[in-house]
Structure 1
C-alpha cells in the first residue's frame, strides 16, 4: 500500500500530471457537449437568442478568437512562470525551483488554458455549414465562452499568486508549513513494530544467531529516496533473517556500495533476495517523502543565502531561525523511532539507520551559525532560539542544545566587535549555560 502511495505522491508532484488530466477532461467534455447539441434543438426565442449562436460565421469567429487568445495567454503564463522560477532560483536557491513548479495553481492554470484551446479546436471541427446540412453546436460554444470568462478570472488569481510566491516571508512560511506537516507524518515512523525494550537489545547476541551473511549492495548511483518498510519487514520475517541497514533516505549511494548486511540461518532463494533490492527507491534527486532533513536544508539554504556578503539580509535569516525553532521545539518532544525494528512476534528483524534529534538539530543550526559570523543580530537570535528550545527538551536532548549554545557563544566572542553586543550575547547565554 505504501508503495502505491509513494508512486501516487511522486506522480502528483510532476508538473505535467494535472495539465494532462485537465486536457483529457476537456476532450471528453467536447465530445459530450457536441453529442448533447445533436440531441437538443436550442431555441432562438426569448433569452436564448442572447446566449446561443445561430450563425455559422459567428460561431467560427467566436471559437477562433477564444482558441487563439487562450494559446497566447498560455504562452504568457509560461513566460511568467519562468521569470518567477529564475527569481526564486537566484534569491532562494535552485532546490526551491521544485517547490514553485509543483504549486497546484500553476499546473491548473497551464492546463486550463491549453485545454480550453483544445476544446475550442474540437468544437470548431464539429461545426458544419452547407446547403444540405448545417450543424451549429450552440451549447458547446456557450460553454467555451464561460470557460474563457473563468480563465480570465484565473489569470488574475495566477498573477496575484506569482507576485506573492516570490516574497521571502511567503516562501519561508510555505516551507515551514510543509515541514510541520511532514514531522507530524514521520514521527513516529514505523518499520515493523517497536519493542518495549527498545535500544536495550543486545545486537551482537541477536546477530550471532544467524550464521550466514550476505551483503546488500546498491544497484545504481543516486540518492536513497524511499524505503518500503512494511514490505521489507514482511520479506525479512518470512525468511527468518535479520537486516542491518547502513543508510537512510536522503543519503547518497554509489553503485556497488553496501546498503546493509543480511544475516540468515539458511541460503536465500535468488528471487527472494532480489526482492530486497526492490524495496529501495534510488533516484537522481532527494525527496522529502522520508527525509526530514531535506526540507530543513531548504530553509537553511534561504538563511545562508541571506547571510552571504552579496545579499546581507539578516531579517530573512532571522525569520528562518524563528521557523526552524518552532519545528525543533516540536521534534524535541516527539518520539523518535528506535533503530531496532521488530516483527509482530517480537523478533528483531531490522536494524535501521534512523535520524536522531541531535542530527536534525545540527542540520537546522550548524550552517546558519557558521555563516552568521560578524552578524550580531543573527547570532543573538540563534542564542535566543536555543534558549526557547531548551524549555521543550528533556535531559536526553538538552546536551545537544547546550552544545550548540556553546558554539554560538564562541563564534559570537570571536566575530562580534562591539563590546555591548557581546555583553548582550553573554547575558542571554547565562540562561542556558549556567
Structure 2
C-alpha cells in the first residue's frame, strides 16, 4: 500500500509541477531547486541513502527475529512480523527510493525542454527527514522489543484481552442444569459421522452459523475437537444426529464452518497463547540459559490469568437455540485444563531451581484464594501437592525446603 501510494504521489506531484510555477523569491529560494544538476544530485543522494538504509533495516529485523527465535521460541516470530511499525518503516524506505527514481526520470534539461519538478523534489527532502525520524524510532522499538520482560508483558496483555473475549463465550444459550445428551440424541433416527476432509490444526469454528444450520434442520451435532486440536484426514471430528437425510451440499455447509490450517492460531485457542508464555519460561530454565527471573515473570503473569479464570464463567458444553432445544454438544476447555497448560511444563523444567519452585507455590496460593468453585480448588491443590513433592525431591538446602513447606501450609 505504501509503495502504491508513493507511485501516485510521484505522478501527481510531477503533474502539479507542470502546471504550478512557484516564483523563487524571498524564503522560497532557499528550499526550491532551480538547477537540473542540483535536482538530479539531491534525488540521487536521497534514493541511494534510502535503499542503503532499507537494507540495514532488513538486516536489523532479521537479527531481531533470530534473537527472538533462539531466546523465546520460533512461534513468537509471527508476533514480531506483525508489528505495524516494522512494516511501515520498511515500506517507507523502499517507497521513498521508488519515488525518487520516478521523479528523477521526469527531470528534463535539453535544447527544447527545461523541466525541474521543484515541488516534487521538496517533498522528497521532507520524506527523507521523516525517514530519519522513523529510523530512530525503529532502532528504539527493536531494542526494547527483544527484552524478555517486554515480550512477556505483551503476551500477557494479549492473553488478558483474549480471555475476556472467550470467557464466557456463547454458542447459543447455555443451560446450567444437568443434560442427558444420550437421551436427547437417541430420539434421532439418523446418525451421520463427519470425518475431516484434510489434516491440520483446527483454527476456528463459526459457532453462530453452526447453531443456525442445526436449528434450521432440527438436528444436533456433537463436536469431538476444539480449536487448537490436530486433525488427521479421515478421522471423525463430529457426529450429526438428524431425522432426515442430508444432501452432500448440506454436509459441505457444515464443514465450511470449520477452518483448518497448517499451524495453530490464537483466535479461539487460549492454550496456544498460554503455551507461548510457557515456552519462554521453559527456555529460561534450560541449563544453557539459566534465567530464573524470566521464568518468574512468566509465572507472575500466568498467575494473573488464572486468577481471572478462577472467577470466570466457563461455557457449558451443551448449547441450545432460542427455542431451548439442544443443537450443539461442544468440546470445551475447562479450568483444570488451562491450569495444567500453564504450570505443568514449568514445574517439570524447574527441577532444582529453588526460586522458581517457591514462586510456583506462592502463585498457587494466590490462585486458590481467588477460586470459588470446589472443583477448581481441587485442581489447584493437585498442583500444589506436585510442587511440594518436587521441592522435597530436589531441594538440597534444608532452609529452602523449610521455606517451601511453610508456604505450602497455607494451602495444603
* Bin for the TM-score computed over the shorter chain: over 0.9
Contact 1:199–1:340 (CA under 8 A) maintained in structure 2: no
1:198 has 2:176 as partner: yes
Match of 1:340 in 2: 318
Contact 1:216–1:259 (CA under 8 A) maintained in structure 2: yes
Match 1:117 to one of 76, 88, 97? 97
Task: Work out the CA distance in 2 between the residues paired with 1:357 and 1:293.
Answer: 11
**What are the within-5 Å matches in structure 2 for residues 261-276 of structure 1?**
261-276=239-254
In structure 2, list runs of 5 or more residues that go unmatched: none
1:128 has 2:112 as partner: no
Q: Secondary structure at the match of 1:354?
A: coil
Deviation at 1:199, TM superposition (A): 5.1
Task: Work out the CA distance in 2 between the residues paired with 1:126 and 1:189.
Answer: 58
Task: Work out the CA distance in 2 between the residues paired with 1:31 and 1:316.
Answer: 52
Match 1:396 to one of 375, 380, 383? 375
Match of 2:121 in 1: 141
Q: Secondary structure at the match of 1:200?
A: coil
Mark the CA change 1:40 to 1:199 in structure 2 (over 3 Å): closer, same or farther.
farther
Contact 1:37–1:140 (CA under 8 A) maintained in structure 2: yes
Deviation at 1:43, TM superposition (A): 1.6
Task: Work out the CA distance in 2 between the residues paired with 1:121 and 1:97.
Answer: 33
1:430 has 2:409 as partner: yes
**What are the within-5 Å matches in structure 2 for residues 286-365 of structure 1?**
286-365=264-343
Task: Work out the CA distance in 2 between the residues paired with 1:322 and 1:42.
Answer: 63
Match of 1:75 in 2: 55
Mark the CA change 1:129 to 1:199 in structure 2 (over 3 Å): closer, same or farther.
farther
Match of 1:207 in 2: 185
Q: Secondary structure at the match of 1:216?
A: strand
Match 2:29 to one of 34, 49, 65? 49
In structure 1, list runs of 5 or more residues that go unmatched: 1-20
Aligned length: 411
1:24 has 2:4 as partner: yes
Task: Work out the CA distance in 1 between the residues paired with 2:252 and 2:92.
Answer: 44
Task: Work out the CA distance in 2 between the residues paired with 1:29 and 1:173.
Answer: 39
Contact 1:332–1:393 (CA under 8 A) maintained in structure 2: yes
**What are the within-5 Å matches in structure 2 for residues 75-114 of structure 1?**
75-114=55-94
Deviation at 1:135, TM superposition (A): 2.1
Match of 2:199 in 1: 221
Task: Work out the CA distance in 2 between the residues paired with 1:35 and 1:191.
Answer: 56
**What are the within-5 Å matches in structure 2 for residues 141-290 of structure 1?**
141-194=121-174, 197-198=175-176, 200-290=178-268
Deviation at 1:346, TM superposition (A): 1.5
Tell which deviates more after alignment, 37-46 or 65-74: 37-46
Deviation at 1:127, TM superposition (A): 2.2
Task: Work out the CA distance in 2 between the residues paired with 1:53 and 1:96.
Answer: 48
Task: Work out the CA distance in 2 between the residues paired with 1:121 and 1:345.
Answer: 66
Structure 1 residue runs of 4 or more that deviate by more than 3 Å after TM superposition:
none
Deviation at 1:133, TM superposition (A): 2.0
Deviations, residues 16-56 of structure 1 (Å, cap 9, x unaligned): xxxxx211222222222222222311221111111111222
Q: Secondary structure at the match of 1:47?
A: helix
Deviation at 1:318, TM superposition (A): 0.6
Contact 1:218–1:255 (CA under 8 A) maintained in structure 2: yes
Q: Secondary structure at the match of 2:333?
A: coil
Task: Work out the CA distance in 1 between the residues paired with 2:122 and 2:177.
Answer: 68
Tell which deviates more after alignment, 293-302 or 182-191: 182-191
Deviations, residues 298-333 of structure 1 (Å, cap 9, x unaligned): 110011111111111111111110011011111111
1:418 has 2:397 as partner: yes
Contact 1:243–1:261 (CA under 8 A) maintained in structure 2: yes
Match of 2:38 in 1: 58
Deviation at 1:244, TM superposition (A): 0.3
Contact 1:199–1:338 (CA under 8 A) maintained in structure 2: no
Deviations, residues 52-88 of structure 1 (Å, cap 9, x unaligned): 1122221121111111111111110000111111111
Task: Work out the CA distance in 2 between the residues paired with 1:143 and 1:113.
Answer: 14
Tell which deviates more after alignment, 424-433 or 226-235: 226-235
Task: Work out the CA distance in 1 between the residues paired with 2:149 and 2:330.
Answer: 37
Task: Work out the CA distance in 2 between the residues paired with 1:118 and 1:299.
Answer: 41
Task: Work out the CA distance in 2 between the residues paired with 1:370 and 1:104.
Answer: 36
Contact 1:63–1:144 (CA under 8 A) maintained in structure 2: yes
Contact 1:383–1:408 (CA under 8 A) maintained in structure 2: yes
Task: Work out the CA distance in 2 between the residues paired with 1:154 and 1:213.
Answer: 61
